[in-house]
Structure formats: C-alpha cells, structure tokens
C-alpha cells in the first residue's frame, strides 16, 4: 500500500459543533487538519478566521494546515500564526511578494506553502521550489467544497513530483478539491504526498469510517 498523508478540511463540518469535528480527526490520527480561510474577496465565499482557530488549537496536537484564500495575506499572517497554524499556505495569485511572505512566515517558525489556482501554470513556481515546505495544487476553483475534481491538474502534480525527486526538494505535494475514494488513487499515483478531503468526509454518514475507507482505497 502506498503511503500518503491525509489533511481533512473542516469546511463542510457542522460549524455549531467544530469541537466534535476536531476530536473526531484527533481520534482518527489524521496527519494534518486543513483550515480553509476565505475572505469574500479573493474567493466568492467567507469562512472563518483566527478567532475560530484559536480555541480549536487547544483540542489537538495535529498540525494545522492553514490555506489562506485571501487578498493581502501579509496583513493577516500574525493572526493566523498566533492562533496556532503550523503550515501557512498563501495563494500565488494573491500577492506579488511571495519572498516577503515567505520571510515573515518562516521567521516565526511556521512552515510556508504556496497554492495555485487551476488556471495558474505550475512552472510559475519553479524558481521558488527549493524554498517551499509545501505546494498546494488546487483541483477545483477555490471557494467552495463539494466541487468536481479537475483531472488535468494531475499533470502539475507529476511535474512537481519529478522535480522533487530529481533535486531532493523537501516540499510536500498536496492536492485540494474534489478528492474522494474514486479520485484519491489517481492523485497518489501522480505523486501527491498529501490530499485534502472535505465533503467526502464530513458529508458522509460516518466520517470516521470514511477516513478509514479513504486510507484503504490506495493499493
């Protein structure tokens, strides 16, 4: 069985019981907890901010994988770091100063990732790859859970995998959007190290059983 890391997104969990969602993921010993932050500007949806993250931090030691789908991320980094993010991923399309963001994030001892939307070529990131802790390939347009997986995005994953292996880069290759038992095996086959799964877990009748099924679907 090929090993991969699971980063469930709580975006489609019951927001009146986020504590239960975190405890469920803690018990299931997932690798990361993916926090989807949306500002209603960079993406056409609003989710939650540091004030929600902070109390969740006390409930688990599992690393928080914070995905900032926001404009002007530099203004909000400290809030997300203080709330307990272990990884912060910003969007390439959201700022002209990736190096500045990287400096600010790494200076605080937090891992740095960059995400690209489906329309952004992966080659855009090539110069930055040696510095990255994580690359997040969007396999849907960011903004909403429950969308259909864009299979063409696997080409980006393959390119990142080849470069990582060739140059011994340390970034985690993560893919986000439309991952379920049907699409997950192809993402791992293409070379992803980690997958984000939202609606497939929290939309399931038994989320804990679904996590096990996702783990078992890759042979």
Binding site for Zn ion (CB under 5 A): 36, 67, 176
DSSP run (H or E) holding 172: strand 172-176
Whichever of 101 and 140 has its CB closer to ligand DX5, that residue is 140
Q: Which is nearer to ligand DX5, 136 or 163 (CB)?
A: 136
CB of 145 to ligand DX5, least distance (A): 3
Does 113 bind ligand DX5 (CB under 6 A)? Our answer is no
Distance in angstroms (rounded) separating the CA atoms of residues 95 and 137: 17
Answer left, alpha or beta for residue 208, where phi above 0 means left and psi between -120 and 50 means alpha. Answer: alpha
Q: What is the DSSP letter of 84?
A: T
Query: Smallest distance, Å, CB 12 to ligand DX5?
Result: 6
Number of chain residues interacting with ligand DX5 (CB under 6 A): 22
Q: Which of 12, 36, 65, 86 is catalytic?
A: 36
Burial class (CB in 10 A: 0-12, 13-18, 19+), 63: middle
Give the distance from CA 206 to its chain's centroid. 22
Residue with tokens 């307990």: 84
Active site residue 14: no
For residue 37, the surrounding DSSP H or E stretch is: strand 33-38
**In this chain, which stretch among 93-101, 126-134, 156-164, 176-184 interacts with ligand DX5, using CB under 6 A?**
176-184
**Which residue in the list 39, 86, 176, 193 is annotated as catalytic?**
176
Query: Nearer Cβ to Zn ion, position 1 or 119?
Result: 119
In 44-168, beta strands by DSSP E: 64-69, 87-91, 111-116, 134-138
Is residue 133 part of the annotated active site? The answer reads: no
Under a CB-based contact definition with an 8 Å cutoff, are residues 29 and 21 in contact? Answer: no
Half-sphere exposure of 102 (CA within 13 A, CB side): 16
Name the minimum Å distance from CB 203 to ligand DX5. 7
84 binds ligand DX5 (CB under 6 A): no
Handedness of CA 158, 176, 219, 134 (dihedral sign): positive
Q: Out of Zn ion, ligand DX5, none, which partner does residue 177 contact, by CB within 5 to 8 A per kind?
A: ligand DX5
Q: Judged by CB under 6 A, which stretch of 48-56, 86-94, 142-150, 181-189 contacts ligand DX5?
A: 142-150
**Contact positions toward ligand DX5, by CB under 6 A?**
9, 11-12, 34, 36, 67, 69, 140, 142-143, 145-147, 176-179, 196-200
Give the catalytic positions in this structure: 36, 176
């Amino acid at each position: 069985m090929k090993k991969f890391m699971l980063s469930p997104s709580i975006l489609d969990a019951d927001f009146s019981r986020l504590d239960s969602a975190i405890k469920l993921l803690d018990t299931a010993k997932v690798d990361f907890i993916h926090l989807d932050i949306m500002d209603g500007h960079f993406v056409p949806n609003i989710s939650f901010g540091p004030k929600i993250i902070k109390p969740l931090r006390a409930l688990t030691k599992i690393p928080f994988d914070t995905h900032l789908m926001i404009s002007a991320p530099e203004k909000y980094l400290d809030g997300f770091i203080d709330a307990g993010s272990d990884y912060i991923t910003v969007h390439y399309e959201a700022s002209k100063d990736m190096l500045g963001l990287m400096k600010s994030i790494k200076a605080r001892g937090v891992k740095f990732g960059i995400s690209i939307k489906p329309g952004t070529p992966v080659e855009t990131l090539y110069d930055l790859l040696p510095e990255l802790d994580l690359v997040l390939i969007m396999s849907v347009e960011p903004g909403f859970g429950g969308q259909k997986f864009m299979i063409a995005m696997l080409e980006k994953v393959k390119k990142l995998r080849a470069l990582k292996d060739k140059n011994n880069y340390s970034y985690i290759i993560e893919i986000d959007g439309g991952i379920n038992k049907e699409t997950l095996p192809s993402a791992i086959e293409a070379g992803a190290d980690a997958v984000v799964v939202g609606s497939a877990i929290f939309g399931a009748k038994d989320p804990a059983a679904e996590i096990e099924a996702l783990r078992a679907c890759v042979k």
